[in-house]
Structures are given as C-alpha cells and as structure tokens.
Homo-oligomer: A and B are copies of this chain.
C-alpha cells in the first residue's frame, strides 16, 4: 500500500494511471525501473505512476537492490552532485523514501544534464557576462504552449516538452525510462524485422558501422521572427545537411525536441550530450545569438559524426524534412517510437564471440575509470582556462593600458620642458605608450581567438563525459543482474536458459559500450588534436603580432642611439 503525494494525469496509450493526491494505491510492480512503478487504484485499474509521486512504505521484489542502486544514481545526478560518486558508494541497501520525501529535489532532467558537474567551471566567462536574455527564452517555452493551444496536429508528445515537467525529468534519464535493463536482458525474443545496428571488429576493437560519407551540417543564418503582433520574438536557424544541401528551418525548441528523442532512443547505449544551455547569455543580443548558434552547430556536428545517431530516422527527419506536413508526420511517428530505452540493445548485433561476464565487467570498469579521470582533467583545464580568460580580459590588459598611459603621461610632461631635442624622446615615448595600449587590446581580444575554442571543446567534452555515468550505469546494472543469475535460478525466479540469454545479451551490451568508447576515443583524438593545434597556431600569431608591433615602435621612432648630448 502506498500514498499518492501529487496529482498525476495519465497520457493515453502509455499504460499510465491517473492518480490524485491523497489517494491510496497498491504497488503491483516496483521493478519497472526508470523511476516508474506499477500501481493499482481502488477501482482496480492498473498502470504506471512516477515513483516519486508515491510514498512507498515497503520494498518487495527480487530487483530491489538493483533498483535502489539505480534510484540513488538517478537522484545524485538530478541533484546536480558529482554523478561519479555513485561508483564510490556501496550499491546495496538504501531506500527510495528519500525520493518520495523530496519531490522538489528532482529538477528536470534537462537542467541536471546541462550542468552535471555542479556549477563550477561550467562554461567559460564569455558565456556569463551579462544577464540572461530571459525574454527570448521564455518565449521559446511560451511558444510551445501557444502551439499546443493552436492544436499542433494533435500529436501526442510522449515525454516531450508539452508533458508535465516531472514526466520529462523521468523520461530524460537514459536507462531509467520505463524499460530497466532486465527488460532487454530477459525479453522473450528481440523484435523481428527491425533495422539492425551492427558492430564490427576493427583494428582498435569493436566499432560501429561507419557510413562511407560522413554526414555533416551547417547551422547558419539566424533570423529573428516575431509573432503575436511583435510581442513575442524567436530565432530561427537554417540547418543545411551536406547530403541535400537544402536548408531546413529549426528553432531551439525543435533542437530540444530532437535531443529528447535521441536521449529516449539511444541514451542507454550512447551518451547524448545536452543541448547548449538555454541560459547561455551574452553581453549583446548579437553575441548571444552567435554563441548559441556556435554551440548548436557543435552539438549538431557531434550528432552528425555519430554513425548510429546520424543514421536514425528521427535525425534524418530533422535534417531533411520536405515540408511542414512531412515534419509533423515524422514528428508524430518518432514520438510513438517504442523501440527506446534499453530496448535499443535489441537492435544491436555484434559480429564477435560472446564475452565472459567478468570480461564485460572489466571493460565497464576500465571505461568508468577513464571517463572519470578525463572528466577530472577536463574540469581542471576548464577551471584554469576560466581564470586565465578572466586575467587576459581583465587585469592584464588594464595593466598594459596603464603602462601605455604612464609612458604617454611622462612623455607629455617631457614635452613641456621646453628643452631642445626633446622631440626625439617624446615622440618615441608617446609611440611606445600607444603601442602598449594596442597590446592591451590585443591581449584582451586574444582569448576569443584561441582560448575560446579550447574552452568550448572542453566544455563540450565535459557535457559528454557527464552522460557516461548514466550510460555506463545501464551496463553496470545489467552486470549486477547477470551476477545474480545463479541465485535467481536457484530461487526459480528465472530459468537456466534465461541465465544463458542474459550473459549473451550483456555481451552485446559490452560490445556496444566498447564500440561507443572507441567512437569516443577516435573523436576525442581528432577534436583535441584540432583544438590544440588551433590554440598553438593562434598563440604563435599573437606573440608574432606583439613582437612586430613593439619592434616597429622601436625602429620607427628610433630611440636615440647617440651618445649623451654635449653642449
């Protein structure tokens, strides 16, 4: 028996149960996973209810330990704490009462994903120089409503932006949507006739099947649109894929919709990085739009580069829809896609021998350690870079400017001496003064030319790494489940055949994780090579420019080399 803490309205076709605050329900299945439980109301109706809408009094079922571990994980992520800490915790014991008692603690999955590392060094300073342009973004959300009101094709946006924010939060956790890992591990047989995602053995180990030509796209031409007689405004972008070269229009909310779909569909196997933070701000609207576009471009490029993501129907729809009707039809279809969560693994075929569960666990731990270590390194670089950014745009150029002014002031005093031959010195000093003012400007502008890209790259990787605990968590949970195999067979919870199937399927999951890690490594080496090269190249240019400027002053004005003037 359990008490309902908040109103929850079921969405049709989702096997959900509408409940009201104060109502008493009976828990029929706590092992659903993903923050959902199955409950029965007093009228005998059975359906899914968000776990934290209900005050659970007792724990039952064989998957308790495993679920509790998941809940803790999800909770620590949603609270914005270090998601890695879950690996340092004892994964047994605990209760979900904390969840039920703290419903306010579960902020939307979106926000949590946007800053999973806490608020420190979450972005470089350029992005935080002014007040948030709330109006513009509020509008993005208002807009969703007004679209709904105007009857947006009646599409059932399952877990989409129009649902309750709580539901979004629950659905947004990869691996914790309505399908726990056991759903895949124990499902009777993989659905037939689906598109297969194949994993090959490459030189580096398991790899995804890469397309011949790499998909790419350009996000460009931000245009401000207005509606409601100009009262509300929004920005629309052209997204131009290299396959069709034909621009399609998208607004931020469309990107957000795409993100939701990708997270739902691939999040258990592939870390789907958050969209650029909605709260990105800029000193000027132009700068803000540019920054947001640059980050949307970065996000799209990363998605394009992923062979599984880029090949998906929903991603292709986003890039190549023909018209409004095509878009709406595709949208509805994508939202109805049931092949989401851990079931993505059922589409994956690894052309390699099954792995021993112990080996799977080793791989999993190895990736976990690597991503954690890299995350520390990236955060460190971001912190240092942010401080350097501040110094280079703040006190340092101010100091060069003051040096420049001091030279010029002294020069102007000297000019007043009335002493003949003064001009040789004062011209040179004034020129040197101006040079240091120039240097001040160069120093202040430099970070945008080099450090910016280093920071953006690391910021992107920070976001990406922030998804790994969840992705790895799905595997970790599956491994725990397989480990329990003998016990479950002994307790007649599963058949010996189930145990064999589970081991086979966890092997597939491990190949998927390895393919994804190899994809990650390959991209990482490419990205860091590119950004380090760019950084060093721009640094060379900077030092070269400053050198030239100083040298020009030195020789243009020719500080007197002569001996002291005798009379």
Contact = CB atoms under 8 A, between A and B. Distances in A.
Given A204-B567, A525-B565, A373 B416 contact: yes
A306 to B, nearest CB: 12
B424 A525 contact: yes
Contacts of A410: 374, 377-378, 380-381, 528
A433 to B, nearest CB: 10
A419 interface: yes
Contact of A528 (B406, B429, B529): B429
A564 interface: yes
A536 B395 CA distance: 22
A303 to B, nearest CB: 15
Contacts of A536: 432, 550-551, 553-554, 559
Contacts of A284: none
A539 interface: yes
Interface in A295-333: 305
A420 interface: yes
A547 interface: yes
A305 B536 CA distance: 49
Interface string A411-435: 0011011111110110011001000
Contact of A380 (B203, B204, B406, B566): B406
A409 B380 contact: yes
A553 B388 CA distance: 21
Contact of A525 (B366, B369, B370, B419): B419
A146 interface: no
A543 interface: yes
Interface stretch (A34-42, A54-62, A516-524): A516-524
Given A540-B551, A554-B537, A564-B523, A559 B529 contact: yes
Nearest to A519: B567
Contacts of A210: 566-567
A413 B374 contact: yes
A324 to B, nearest CB: 35
A493 interface: no
Given A200-B567, A543-B543, A425 B554 contact: no
A544 interface: yes
Contacts of A85: none
A550 B554 contact: no
Contact of A543 (B381, B402, B550, B559): B550
Given A377-B406, A419-B521, 15 more contacts: A204-B421, A305-B564, A370-B417, A384-B399, A385-B403, A387-B402, A388-B403, A424-B525, A425-B525, A429-B532, A525-B560, A526-B565, A533-B554, A540-B551, A543-B543
Interface of A: 200, 202-204, 207, 210, 214, 305, 366, 369-370, 373-374, 376-378, 380-381, 384-385, 387-388, 391, 395-396, 399, 402-403, 406-407, 409-410, 413-414, 416-422, 424-425, 428-429, 432, 518, 521-526, 528-530, 532-533, 536-537, 539-540, 543-544, 546-547, 550-551, 553-554, 559-561, 563-567
